[in-house]
Amino acid sequence: MEVGFLGLGIMGKAMSMNLLKNGFKVTVWNRTLSKCNELVAHGASIGKTPAEVINKCTITIAMLSDPAAALSVVLDKDGVLEQICGGKGYIDMSTVDPETSCKINEAITSKGGRFLEAPVSGSKQPAETGQLVILAAGDKALYEAAIPAFDILGKKSFFLGQVGNGAKMKLVVNMIMGSMMNAFSEGLTLADRSGLNPHDLLDVLDLGAIANPMFKGKGPAMLQNNYSPAFPLKHQQKDMRLALALGDENSVPMPVAAASNEAFKKARSMGLGDMDFSAVFETLKVLKHSS
């Protein structure tokens, strides 16, 4: 099976590499074409533009940074829309708002193409090990055609119905995750400042009802000031913003998520946007130094 892949950031690179290692023929594109070189060394072909990738492949996957990038790749010169047509499918696995997904769907289907949104739950390590959770919505036939690829990329795929539902599910998941990370950071800080060993807190949490892979995986690194990016903080803050907008649309009060968003914004103002989203922990250290 041959697929196209647009976007080779932290996630896209790992995902396209998995496809290559599992026997897929993959044609890749990235705005900075030099990022394609490692994939080419593992057997990938390069498309010089998104349109060129679409022209070559029956199914093309995109994993891009934000709504603006997702729209640009489709609508700009040499973009997806120039070559999409009947018999071709486009799968956007980026995290965007429902409105952006619907705009892309309208553009693709107006040219006879098929569209599936399929954002993922999971960051760098799950992407590398094929353990993502795929949240798909849109064209059911395209979803079924993509199952062989999804089975390589993820441990579970969900089909959630109409376009927009995948985006909504991903924003809800990431809103919960961002809020949890802020509460976790506050807990680590409170333990430390009140004379407890925060490593003991990690052990206690891991044995209780709120034990979870995020606390177990992120906690030790946070206590060592290690914020190597698995999921960049700037993207987490973008998702909080989009989730809050979804809350506004549905008249859902979200005071916890709103406070968490402010913490991520503070971290971005401190220059931490490219670090892992767990670097929001650093905002509490600033408060310590000023007290």
Check residue 1 and give its pLDDT.
Answer: 78
What does the block give as tokens for 244? 């809050």
Please report the pLDDT score of residue 288 as a whole number: 63
Mean pLDDT over each residue of the chain, to the nearest integer:
96
**Mean per-residue pLDDT, 73-96:** 98
Average pLDDT over residues 93-97: 96
Strand 120-121 to 89-92 pairing? unpaired
One fold for both 2-162 and 168-290?
Answer: no
> How high is the pLDDT of residue 286?
67
Rounded to an integer, the average pLDDT of 122-129 is 95
Per the CB < 8 A criterion, the answer to whether 146 and 91 are in contact is yes
Q: Which fold has domain 2-162?
A: Rossmann fold (3.40.50)
Strand 25-29, strand 2-6: pairing: parallel
Average pLDDT over residues 108-136: 97
Q: Measuring CA to CA, which residue among 227, 240, 238 is closest to residue 278?
A: 227
pLDDT, one tens digit per residue, over 182-235 is 999 999 999 999 999 999 999 999 999 999 999 999 999 999 999 999 999 999
Torsion from C-alpha of 178, 182, 187, 193, nearest 10 degrees = 150
Catalytic residues: 170
d(CA 216, CA 203): 9
Find the mean pLDDT for residues 84-110: 97
Q: pLDDT band at residue 166, thresholds of 50, 70 and 90? A: very high
Pick the CATH number of 168-290 from 1.10.150.120, 1.10.1040.10, 1.10.287.4070, 3.40.50.2300: 1.10.1040.10
The predicted model gives 87-100 an average pLDDT of 97
- Prediction pTM value: 0.93
Provide the percentage of residues in the chain whose pLDDT is more than 90: 97
Say what the pLDDT of residue 2 is: 87
Of 97, 109, 119, nearest to 141 (Cα)? 109
> What are the residue boundaries of the structural domains of the chain, listed by start?
2-162, 168-290
The predicted pLDDT at position 84 comes to 98
Query: How far apart, in whole angstroms, are the C-alpha atoms of residue 76 and residue 5?
Result: 17
Looking at residue 105, its pLDDT comes to 98
Residue 87 has pLDDT above 60, yes or no: yes
